[in-house]
């Protein structure tokens, strides 16, 4: 009887020890699903193939997408997600040019567009532009950071959208509290 009681206590202890972890795993799965939904909301259906794994404050993105812009800007969207401080972006793009097949030209064009948007933001919203990260990829521009109020956020988005060469603006701006 004593052995049976000890086994029952051991089983109950094992179940009790795994219960909090199961709850934490459920919470992590919900956060991964929420980040996946945010990727689709911000980047479109092409992002639906991105798999998300959260470990602590790090997001690991995997999968394959069609567009290079979705592949690269997925990292910015993940960094916008509450609680994510770093991203391991392993997503690949079917249309990603290889070195010598346009990659350097694409990167140079992206850098030029990014610099132009940053310059225009500084001209429109002044010092507040320093709190906004700009990422440009194939005509898509993400704005991530903090605007002091809704009016300057709206100006920042309109400024980016009105920049020659910008085809889509991804709004990842928060309003300062």
Both 107 and 89 in a single domain?
no
- End position of a domain, from candidates 43, 71, 93: 93
Both 83 and 162 in a single domain?
no
Which helix (H) or strand (E) segment holds residue 111: the answer is helix 103-125
Both 10 and 77 in a single domain?
yes
Side-chain half-sphere exposure of 25, counting CA atoms within 13 A: 5
In a domain, 144, yes or no: yes
Question: CB of 57 within 8 A of CB of 29?
Answer: no
pLDDT at 8: 46
Distance from C-alpha of 142 to C-alpha of 65, rounded to nearest angstrom: 18
Domain count along the chain: 2
SS3 73: helix
Both 30 and 63 in a single domain?
yes
In a domain, 98, yes or no: no
At 11, is the pLDDT very low, low, confident or very high (cuts 50, 70, 90)?
very low
Both 86 and 108 in a single domain?
no
Predicted model pTM? 0.81
Domain that holds residue 140: 103-175
Distance from C-alpha of 73 to C-alpha of 66, rounded to nearest angstrom: 13
Q: How confident is the model over 134-166, as pLDDT tens digits?
A: 999 999 999 999 999 999 999 999 999 999 999
Least confident of 8-12, 23-27, 31-35: 8-12
At 25, is the pLDDT very low, low, confident or very high (cuts 50, 70, 90)?
confident
- End position of a domain, from candidates 29, 60, 93: 93
User: Exposed (0-12), middle (13-18) or buried (19+): which is 59, by Cβ within 10 Å?
Assistant: buried
Question: CB of 90 within 8 A of CB of 64?
Answer: no
Both 17 and 57 in a single domain?
yes
pLDDT at 159: 98
Q: How confident is the model over 31-55, as pLDDT tens digits?
A: 999 999 999 999 999 999 999 999 9
pLDDT at 12: 46
SS3 58: strand
Indicate the pairing of strand 58-62 with strand 86-89: parallel
Both 116 and 68 in a single domain?
no
The answer on pLDDT for 93 being more than 60 is yes
Least confident of 5-19, 74-88, 104-118: 5-19
Which helix (H) or strand (E) segment holds residue 30: the answer is helix 2-43
Provide CB contacts within 8 A for 136, sequence distance 6+: 110, 111, 113, 114, 117, 166
SS3 169: strand
Distance from C-alpha of 1 to C-alpha of 108, rounded to nearest angstrom: 77
């Amino acid at each position: 009887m004593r052995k049976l009681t000890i086994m029952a206590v051991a089983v109950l202890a094992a179940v009790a020890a795994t219960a909090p972890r199961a709850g934490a795993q459920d919470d992590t799965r919900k956060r991964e699903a929420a980040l996946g939904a945010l990727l689709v909301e911000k980047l479109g259906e092409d992002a639906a193939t991105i798999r998300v794994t959260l470990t602590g404050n790090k997001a690991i993105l995997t999968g394959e997408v069609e567009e290079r812009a979705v592949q690269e800007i997925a990292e910015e969207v993940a960094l916008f997600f509450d609680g994510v401080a770093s991203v391991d972006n392993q997503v690949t793009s079917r249309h990603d040019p290889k070195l010598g097949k346009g990659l350097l030209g694409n990167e140079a064009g992206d850098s030029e567009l990014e610099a132009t948007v940053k310059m225009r933001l500084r001209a429109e919203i002044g010092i507040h532009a320093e709190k906004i990260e700009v990422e440009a990829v194939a005509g898509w521009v993400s704005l991530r950071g903090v605007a002091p109020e809704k009016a300057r956020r709206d100006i920042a988005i309109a400024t980016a959208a009105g920049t020659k060469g910008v085809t889509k603006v991804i709004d990842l701006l928060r309003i300062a509290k």
